[in-house]
A and B are shown apart, each in its own frame.
Chain A
């Protein structure tokens, strides 16, 4: 349905040179999807009214120009990421959409409580499955799903980690549907995106200064400080002023910009595997003044590659003996190896049960209904309903290797079904979600596009998070895929203080 113009006359109304089209002139709300800015009848939501009016008074060209300027500055500053398997795509920016998404205090409260609860339960789960295994013994989750998971690290069995924290930081993907907020995925290994959250904020704050000021948006700039504090709390016992480093696979990694950015924000060294060495059970880095002991490693290298002696032998990215030093308790690795068992797409289905089991609480944030193809009935259901489902491989992330049933051709579906039949346990299916939409700048003014959000939660001696998120946008009309590696973009999320 066509929207009525917002409450007040916009400055672009009337005649004269500024008679160009208003931003929301052609904006259509779609009743099938929750619109973050407008109600189903096309009226701006209360907390969006002021923003909506102000934006409507701006020329689309003006906003597009600001957007282009910000993107150019991203390129010049090297705020880039790499897409694998695409030639010449070594360094790409994540396109930014300049129309911010607003979240009122009540909504954020739900998200925040839900995230704290969830991370708490997930850490208890990890301590349990690498420890006594109560949850398995009590039959809440099948043993083979945990121990058979490729991300389960036998080497972690019986290891006590500082404060029992396996996951020091996570980036949880949350969507809003017509039924409210839902968790799409917990990223508990090496989640990325926080630097884009901060870069988008800086770009918007600079360009829309007055608008930003009027909205009393809650700050997120202290993330680096919180991260450092969290990591320091997780230092091995007895170390008072820990030496923290960020371990990166190197400049060719997709998220290198972020590694560099976070190291700078925290004021810690950015190291590669070859900068570290293990001697007498301690980890050192090579400096110009000699070897310096390292106490905490915030690693952005996958489990498999951190230590060729413990995990994959051919890894060039890791440090031989690192895991040995870790087992001795002489160094902290965050996140701990083996956290992938808790964000596996099949284990995901059991997170609400974990919350009930460990915390005796009902989950604040719902899960997406998930069918595990390892179960014969659910496999049959999945194969029978491929055209309405999204099918994912349990160990994959970043939107790689998934089938969006409604958008696939019959031939693609048939080929995918064949793959599923060969290895059903490797697949899960979920209904296509009615992801909420938010206005984005398109060729002819604003248009609704699907969005999600990825807040970043930290867990040291307590749980911390900044009120914000990397808000991902599916820039293509109608698309539900927001992953940066699949052509998604980002926008700033403004969490309002009241």
Chain B
């Protein structure tokens, strides 16, 4: 497969997962505004911003905020920043625009339906602003956008030829997911240390964002144990939105791409080491030591950045002498 096409598909995967994750975070955060105290809502925003490595344009509320009106106005600004802000490269609109731009470049190998689905999702987001969705049902907007992205992946599953293009799409998708999940769990721990007393709802919200609440309840009933929840989100290979599962998919894609080639690829080795660390080192950590846990999560995040560099150097931008 042409390197540029592989790169295009890889980035479509990354941007769509980023946009989907953003929708998920925001729809959960806006849901807290229905019935949570102002202070908790403020804490939620802090976690959210930390997770996406950004600071709000106007800063956070000074005191945790007592004033309801102030909190509402703030939420409006922050939701706008994360959804539509032109200068925020990771805003949902920008992610969809970037995914679509990549899709335009590779349209000849993307089916008509996949392209139309993505194009429509983008056109829907392009033509609205925060004022429209705020007065309407913000939740419905994020749900719709997330659904469009899921539809795209569904069409991909049902129609794509399983060549390198397919593997690069999911490689990008799951490298992004690994990185975002590690960042989110780390941000959560920073905001809600395990030792501190926090309302259960914050931890439940984390499970919900990762679409893990139903499975967790099924396995562990209603027991509220942060350590167990962390294990579930990081190390459970069966949970679609766990770090370990995402890494398994990354390894799978890398294996398929290098299949039949006697080439030892650094990216594959790195992904393998990341997975091994979760399998063998993560269970041995001291669950009460938040600093160690966070260091492990930050390690995953940093490894993702290096993994990306490995992939780009091996498949997208190699020199003649280094050709695989």
Contacts and interface: CB of A to CB of B under 8 A. Distances in A.
Contacts of A264: 107-109
Contact of B3 (A250, A251, A275, A279): A275
- Which has the most chain A C-beta neighbours within 10 Å: B4, B101, B324? B4
A289 interface: yes
Contacts of B320: 277, 279, 291
Contact of A288 (B3, B112, B123): B3
A76 B116 contact: yes
A269 interface: yes
A198 to B, nearest CB: 13
B6 A251 contact: no
Contacts of B101: 251
Given A263-B108, A264-B108, A288 B119 contact: no
B202 to A, nearest CB: 41
A263 B323 CA distance: 25
B1 A289 contact: yes
A286 B116 contact: no
Interface string A244-274: 0000001100001000110110000111101
Interface string A221-241: 000000000000000000000
B105 A251 contact: yes
Given A78-B115, A275-B3, A291-B323, A286 B318 contact: yes
* Interface SS majority for chain B: helix
A78 B2 contact: no
B74 interface: no
Interface in A51-81: 76-78
* Interface SS majority for chain A: mixed
A286 B4 CA distance: 8
A286 B315 CA distance: 9
B255 interface: no
Given A76-B119, A251-B101, A272 B4 contact: yes
B124 to A, nearest CB: 11
Nearest to A76: B116
A269 to B, nearest CB: 5
A287 B119 contact: no
Contacts of B2: 269-271, 275, 285-288
B115 A77 contact: yes
A256 B108 CA distance: 11
A286 B6 CA distance: 11
A290 interface: yes
A272 B324 CA distance: 21
A12 B108 CA distance: 44
A271 B123 CA distance: 27
Nearest to B168: A288
B164 interface: yes
Nearest to A286: B3
B323 A290 contact: yes
Contacts of A261: 108
A286 B261 CA distance: 17
B104 interface: yes
Nearest to B317: A286
Contacts of A291: 320, 323
Contacts of B257: 288
Interface string A270-314: 111011010100000111111100000000000000000000000
B108 A288 contact: no
A272 B315 CA distance: 17
6 contacts: A76-B119, A251-B105, A261-B108, A270-B2, A271-B2, A289-B164
Interface of B: 1-6, 101, 104-105, 107-109, 112, 115-116, 119-120, 123, 164, 168, 257, 261, 315, 318, 320, 323-324
In the A-B complex, list the 4 residue pairs whose CB atoms are closest, starting with the nearest: A264-B108, A263-B108, A286-B3, A260-B108
